[in-house]
Amino acid sequence: MSGAEMSRTGSPAASPGTRVGSGPAPARPAPVRAGWPLYEFALTAMLMFAVVTVIRWVLDQSSPFFLADFQQALLVVGALTGAMVCGLIRSPWGRLSGAHMNPAITFALWRLKFFPGRTVVVYVFAQLCGSLVGTVLARLAWGPAVARVGYGAVAAAPSWDGWAVFAAEGACLVPVTLMIGFFLARPGRERWFPWVLAVLVCAIIAVLGPLSGGAANPARQFGPALMSGTTAYLWIYLVAPGLGAALGAAAHHRITAPSYGYGR
Measuring CA to CA, how many Å separate 176 from each of 53, 73, 246, 251? 26, 24, 11, 12
Contact 208, 218 (CB under 8 A): no
Q: Which of 116, 153, 108 is nearest to 131 (CA)?
A: 153
94: Cβ–Cβ under 8 A, 6 or more apart, which residues?
A: 6, 39, 43, 88
Tell me the residue type at 240: A
Residues 252 and 235: their CA atoms lie apart, in Å, by 26
Q: What is the pLDDT of residue 2?
A: 52
Tell me the residue type at 234: L
Tell me the residue type at 75: L
Q: What is the pLDDT of residue 22?
A: 35
Q: How far apart are the first and last CA of the chain?
A: 27
Q: Which of 162, 172, 152 is nearest to 74 (CA)?
A: 152
CATH superfamily of 36-256: Glycerol uptake facilitator protein. (1.20.1080.10)
Per-residue pLDDT of the chain (264 residues; tens, 9 = 90+): 654 433 333 333 334 433 333 344 444 565 567 688 999 999 999 999 999 999 999 999 999 999 999 999 999 999 999 999 999 999 999 999 989 999 999 999 999 988 999 999 999 999 999 999 999 999 999 999 999 999 999 999 999 999 999 999 999 999 999 999 888 777 777 788 899 999 999 999 999 999 999 999 999 999 999 999 999 899 999 999 999 999 999 999 998 876 554 444
Domain map (residue ranges) of the chain: 36-256
Burial of 55 (0-12, 13-18, 19+ CB in 10 A): buried
Q: What is the pLDDT of residue 17?
A: 37
